[in-house]
Structure 1
Amino acid sequence: MQWGTFVAIGDSFTEGLDDPGLDGQYRGWADRTAERMAQNNPGLRYANLAIRGKLLDEIVAEQVPLASTLHPDLVTFCGGGNDLIKPAADPDALAELYESAVSQLRAAGSQVVVFTGFDTRDTPVLRRVRGKVATYNAHLRAIADRHDCLVVDMWSMRVLQDRRMWSEDRLHLTPEGHHRVALRTCEVLGVPVDEDWSAPLPEVPPATWVTLRRDDLHWARVHLVPWLGRHLRGISAGDNIQPKRPELAELAESSCGGAADR
């Protein structure tokens, strides 16, 4: 299908951390997907309203109404991950809120793409919320069925279990990780691609136990402890951050990293 307008909403995953672009902003899977879509439809207009650190209720309150007023042909909607890592998170309640947003977007005439959460089995600390993520994912699939949405199933993307797909903070994808998610999204949308998102990375010698534990300690000191401190103080990484593409506009060549590159 020729999508004429595309709006991406969500948190840091959709904003594009940690995938730097040529214009000084983060690029990410959503921008990469838009670039590939524009190859077949140069007139595509695209907006990205996602902001790092946003909770689901903030996305629903701030980004969904704006996206609805734009009446885009297509909306990608990934949210809830920042909520699920909280001890008191209720995936059932989150799903109800998510569905209310999907209803609003569908009523505005947009096709909606739903994203499941990643499988956190091999991720330190986050593996503790794996059951909640699985429950939330089941809800998301049911919501997609009820509202005739498309689904990008990231839980089943085993290639993302490779540590090289994740940046040093173990919360955000590397450029290669964003590249793979963009390929998977294009597949769901029917956008032609010439690569296989599931192709494994070249094999490398496994890291030693000592190296893995040293990396864990570095990660805890540099990333986990500061994150916990911000969380306890109620500080969000998205405070005072504005959307990088707040309005529907055609993609400028100078701001694109190139649809086929890494």
Structure 2
Amino acid sequence: MIPSPGRYLALGDSFTEGVGDPNKHLPNGVRGWADRVAEKLAKDQPGWEYANLAIRSQRLRQIAAAQLEPALAMQPTLITLYAGGNDILDAGTNVAQLLRQYEELVATLSTTGATLLLFTGYDVDVTPALRLFRRRNHLYNDGVRSISREYDAVLVDYWSFEAYRDPRMWAPDRLHMSKAGHKYLASRVLDVLGVRHSMNLLDREPLRSRTLLQWERSQRRWVNDWIVPLAYRKIRGVTLGDNLQPRWPEPVRVPPKGGLRRLVRSGFDDRSAQAVEGHERG
């Protein structure tokens, strides 16, 4: 489906940055599905280059403002885009207007000639309060499906993946994927791209049942650890991504053996705004 090797560019928010899949040895302390896809691409066809401009908490307008121009300059051959999820959870969001902005972004990216992958959003059922946003999410998903057809993009229908009904696929905050969730999504993206892989996915052993007391304690801990700080940040008008830079701001050539961690171990400085030697196109 895609010319190999090429240049893969990942755009978006925490979903694509890799939040929920911690790794202290990688930029911003996370790994994520996009890194895993880049590494498998390079293993299958050495020579792939990769950049990831995604930053947690960014809204669609911020993604368009900060990531679009660098994306066009990089001349990618493969682009993945997930944007709008944070907007859906904001009070007062107009979904029709959000989709118009989304289509403008997709239309511009489509001019690159790159293979473009778009994602629907998942219905995260963590609390009855968030069920109020389901209608928005469904409207958004319908719009993404329509836009993907209009611009001949490849749709990754994340919304339909039943594996994410398993709570082990979610991080402790219940809003971001866990390591298992990121690995599973990487496998689905690779399947869509027709790339060979043998990822070790989640062990499907039955979940252990919990007592009512255990469930109540879990709920209280979740509210105290995640919901209260989130509400406080919204009141203050700050986000977790305010002081972060993109994890891989310039294309890097992904080693087929050792992957991106090999770059870090070899002393590659992802904040230097320099690509790995030889990444420039002739």
Report the TM-score, using the length of structure 2 for normalisation: 0.86
Deviations 1:21-53 (A, max 9, x none): 362431100001111111111100000000011
- Identify the match of residue 205 of structure 1 among 189, 203, 208: 208
Secondary structure at the counterpart of residue 63 of structure 1: helix
The Cα shift of 1:3 comes to 4.7
Report the counterpart of residue 248 of structure 2 in structure 1.
245
Alpha-carbon distance between aligned partners in 2 of 1:226 and 1:182, rounded to the nearest angstrom: 29
2:164 matched to which residue of 1? 160
**TM-superposition CA deviations, 1:102-138 (whole Å, max 9, x none):** 1111112222100110122x32133321111111000
Matched, 1:55 2:59: yes
**Do residues 131 (structure 1) and 135 (structure 2) align?**
yes
User: Is it true that 1:255 corresponds to 2:260 in the alignment?
Assistant: yes
**Aligned-residue identity in percent:** 37
RMSD of Structure 2 on Structure 1 (CA): 1.7
Match for residue 266 of structure 2? none
Q: Structure 2: which 5+ residue stretches go unaligned? A: 263-282
Q: 1:216 to 1:236 in 2, by over 3 A?
A: same
The residue that corresponds to 1:18 in the other structure is: 20
Q: Is structure 2 residue 169 aligned with structure 1 residue 181?
A: no
Q: Distance in 2 between matches of 1:214 and 1:88?
A: 33
- Using the TM superposition, give the Cα deviation of residue 97 of structure 1 relative to its aligned residue in structure 2, in angstroms: 0.6
The residue type equivalent to 1:226 in the other structure is P
Residues 17-96 of structure 1: matches in 2 within 5 Å?
17-21=19-23, 23-24=25-26, 25-96=29-100
Residue in 1 aligned with 2:6? 4
- Identify which range, 137-146 or 17-26, moves more after superposition: 17-26
- Pick one of 152, 165, 170 that aligns with 1:148: 152
For 1:155, what is the secondary structure of its paired residue? helix
Q: Distance in 1 between matches of 2:99 and 2:206?
A: 38
SS of 2:242's partner is coil
Amino acid at match of 1:245: W
1:13–1:172 CA contact under 8 A, matched in 2: yes
Q: Name segments (4+ residues, structure 1) moved above 6 Å.
A: none
What is the alpha-carbon distance in structure 2 between the residues aligned to residue 100 and residue 71 of structure 1? 18
Paired residue type of 2:242? D
| Pair 1:235-2:233 in alignment | no
Report the counterpart of residue 260 of structure 1 in structure 2: none
What SS class does the counterpart of residue 167 from structure 1 fall into?
A: coil
CA drift of 1:200 comes to 6.8
The alpha carbon displacement at 1:212 in A equals 1.7
Question: Any conservation in 2 of the 1:73–1:110 contact (CA below 8 Å)?
Answer: yes
Change (3 A) 1:254 1:102: closer
**Contact persistence 1:106–1:112 (CA under 8 A):** yes
Bigger Cα Rg: 2
The count of corresponding residues between Structure 1 and Structure 2 is: 255
8 A contact 2:53–2:247 mirrored in 1: yes
Q: Distance in 2 between matches of 1:254 and 1:180?
A: 18
Question: 1:206: how far off?
Answer: 1.9
Give 2:111's aligned residue: 107
* Equivalent AA in structure 1 for residue 252 of structure 2: A
Contact 1:69–1:108, Cα closer than 8 Å, also in 2: no
Q: Which amino acid aligns with 1:255?
A: L
